[in-house]
Amino acid sequence: MLNLPATMTHEVAPACLSELRDGLQHEAATVVVDGERLQRFDSSALAVLLELRRECAKAGKVFAVQKLPARLRDLAALYGIDALLKPA
């Protein structure tokens, strides 16, 4: 399981993405991203999640999320990408 940090804003998103990408190598066929700790975020969090989803697809792995904050799910729905962030 990959855990999102407490903060994922534009300023820290590139470093977070790099760290999460590194973690993909060690994940099984299904990669679950846990958002329980995520408290402060902007739309960059969605960009990171979508990039992780693409990386999983390239690696032949299934991508799923769990415990994303309601506000982030609402933002994903607003952008019309909520269906791409399937719950685990």
Q: pLDDT by residue (tens digit) across 43-53? A: 999 999 999 99
46 C-beta neighbours (distance < 10 Å), count: 22
Region 1-19: what's the mean pLDDT? 97
Domain residues for the domain of 59 are 2-84
Express each pLDDT in 58-78 by its tens digit.
999 999 999 999 999 999 999
Our count of domains for the chain comes to 1
Instruction: State how far Cα 50 lies from the chain centre.
Output: 7
Express each pLDDT in 24-61 by its tens digit.
989 999 999 999 999 999 999 999 999 999 999 999 99
Looking at residue 49, which CATH number applies to its domain?
3.30.750.24
- pLDDT-derived band of residue 83, with 50, 70 and 90 as boundaries? very high
- Burial 15-26, CB ≥16 within 10 A → b, else e: ebbeebeeebee
